[in-house]
Amino acid sequence: MDVSTVAIAVFEGVEELDAIGPYETFSVAGDSGGDLDVSLRTLEPTDRVTCAHGLRIEPDGELSGGADLIVVPGGGWTSGEGGVRTVVENGRLPAALADWSEAGREDRMIASVCTGAMVLAEAGVLDCRPATTHASALSDLRETGAEVVDARIVDDGDLLTAGGVTAGIDLALHLVARICGDDVARATATTLEHDRPSDVYRS
């Protein structure tokens, strides 16, 4: 699968590290010889997004701009308010992701970090497929159509999910290895001073 553009979906209440960890990992991979362009994107146009812990970020554009890989971070699910909880309740992002995934299933990838898996579940993307999420939300994920797996990263080909928060860096390193090769992944991990992931479930 040829992947060169990565869009990380951001929204009000998104968990900072869920989004920024993968963003930096993919950016470093691009600087390390990988043919990757990564951006932070929103469903609808906005100048600023306020994250779960107050960090304010300026998105690069909208998801409608197109991408080979979309990464959906988490945030706010277990607190019961804001973030993913609001995204799932209003349904617009899940619907857009469902349409995007169905339209390009053969040549697109989609991934989630932490409770971003609940957005994918609402979109129907996880139906009858192996997936994981933050430990605190595994019981909620079991109530959807997903087949919950106890692993830090679950790789089901065009669909990947990761556990909580820092697992987003592991997910991104795993994807860098898949997309750009081991040399780029090794160089990226060295720059980040982060071990490459070992707890990976592959279907």
Catalytic residues: 114
Q: How many residues does the chain have?
A: 203
Q: Which residue has the tokens 């309740």?
A: 89
- Quick check: 30 and 179 in contact, CB under 8 A? no
- Widest pairwise Cα distance in the chain: 42
Q: Tell me the backbone φ, ψ of residue 52, rounded to 5 degrees.
A: -60, -35
CB-based contacts of 89, cutoff 8 Å, min separation 6: none
Q: Which residue has the tokens 């706010």?
A: 76
Residue 85: closest CA among 119, 49, 52: 119
CB-based contacts of 34, cutoff 8 Å, min separation 6: 176, 179, 180, 181, 184, 188
The whole-angstrom separation of Cα 80 and Cα 84 is: 9
